[in-house]
Chains A and B, each alone.
Chain A
């Protein structure tokens, strides 16, 4: 089985710096990690390989320092790693990113299963997975919480999380999955696996190495543009109740009621016909 995991490097901090000219994020000088959601994708890919045999490849798009994250992926059980890196890729939105990663995956000859984390913790869009699926012309399933089985004919059964339950779905490989953290508990790398990862080569591809239309990558290939970034107003001065618990609760309830909040049951609301 050939498994490809797409990972993203994200800043390991909540402080954000912006380039005021381009209104894009400055990613230099910030400690970077593998997007936490992607660690579940890596783990699931490694487990599939352990169960069914084959190869697991990690691929990412980004500046040269993403090599570090790919090396981390190698230390977690990934066999080979590829980085799509080129100044021309910079500033890509999810459409251009999906297109570019799909081009990289095509160059790798495709895969039986492609796995991503359900979203990146910096952008929080979750759009790149479906976009890659479309570019490759294979089905995608988001929010997968369990791969139940894959049989010899490539029939795969999975559980996919919804807001109010889950779906059991059946499809045929190849397929692209995005996974949620419930799916597994990622292993940690050891000194030995880290040493082994050091010795491996990470293959770098630029825009000339993959088959792409140059007007569909990077900033130029991105229909969406960030025109303004602002910090939401952070703190509010709330009312504090301290001291005697009983009087605190009493005055709190009085205040919140006068603020228009009624802690009455829904049935009562219906009866009153206010909705």
Chain B
């Protein structure tokens, strides 16, 4: 990325910049300003002189950023296999709430190949403008390319707020974008609101494994950036007809070559592992006593069409693969219902499942910490409780399907 550049579409060839440049670094070529990077000191004189906002500096001074010219809520529309990442609808939901307070438009940066239908989908859910680069040169997993392009678009469009998913990809791209454009980024937010007085984005997130919550502001730098924890915000619903969105193409931005080659993507076949998206999760812990008893957890999970999770104790004991681990060093989940079987509830485990809508503990110890976090606690031997639960549930679903 060049430290300073001319947005060719906006340049009208007026030569004002040429006149003000103290370093004789700008020439007109084909009636467009061209900046000689060798001579340019990034002093910014041309930017002030340009009446068409056609010059942008990427290496901004950290200290002196003017924040008033930024407006709008923008999001990074992460997608895979032709589908938006599920967190994206949640972010749009959050953005629409912010829009009510800010009364500014929602935009989405969409990068990839064959993006038209996704662009339309974004509009359907309430995005006002899709800022799109649609090109076969943009690889699906080319994070370095996405990073560059996102940064370029942000510099050009100057949104006030920029949000991305608290996904592995989002949490890789956004920190790099923030470091590129020198602004603040808050990781994995669980709540986003607009401060009624100063109109700043209040970004709230858990830290110390959820032991404390912190509310964070980014006062003097723009955009205010945040990644949004998956499975916390409410998904946007489709907007009623009449909402019109615009698709803006950024074909003038040069697409860099990726430095990271994708050899293959290997999908982990085990369907029980897809914990993060599951509505129901049944987890097993040390209380299962033996690896073969995980069958019980699995059967309960199957009965309610849920996923199988595990505590670290169960994973460390080798009873079940790490991919099932819920907790601070495993996955963070937010199912509708989380059933913890024989899990005492160490703080690290709680950190990964505490925000579940409903937590149900099946435990033989009335003093287990998990019960402090559970809406329902069934006290008893899990080897009796779980089979009974399966039996009664099967009775229920059976009658439902008639």
Contact = CB atoms under 8 A, between A and B. Distances in A.
Contacts of B176: 130-131, 133-134, 140
A170 B185 contact: no
Interface string B375-390: 1111111001100110
Contacts of A51: none
Given A139-B260, A224-B217, A248-B385, A253 B392 contact: yes
Contacts of B384: 245
A209 interface: no
A122 B187 CA distance: 13
B213 A231 contact: yes
A205 interface: no
Nearest to A99: B179
Interface string B304-329: 11000000000000000010000011
Given A169-B263, A236-B373, A216 B168 contact: no
A41 to B, nearest CB: 14
Chain A binding surface, main DSSP class:
mixed
Nearest to A221: B62
Contact of A139 (B144, B359, B371, B389): B144
Interface size classification for chain A: 35 or more
**Highest count of chain A CB atoms <10 Å: which of B173, B179, B182:** B179
Interface of B: 62-63, 141, 144, 167-169, 171-176, 178-180, 182-188, 202-203, 206-221, 259-268, 273-274, 276, 279-280, 303-305, 322, 328-329, 336-337, 347, 358-361, 366, 371-381, 384-385, 388-389, 392-393, 396-397, 400-401
A130 B225 CA distance: 15
Contacts of B280: 263
Contacts of A169: 141, 260-263
Contacts of B336: 261
B268 A165 contact: yes
A93 to B, nearest CB: 7
Interface stretch (A1-9, A79-87, A156-164): A156-164
Contacts of A225: 216-219
A240 B217 contact: no
A75 interface: no
Given A124-B209, A240-B377, 6 more contacts: A15-B211, A130-B179, A181-B329, A230-B213, A252-B378, A259-B358
Contacts of A253: 389, 392-393, 396
B364 to A, nearest CB: 10
Given A227-B217, A265-B305, A241 B373 contact: no
A242 to B, nearest CB: 4
A80 to B, nearest CB: 26
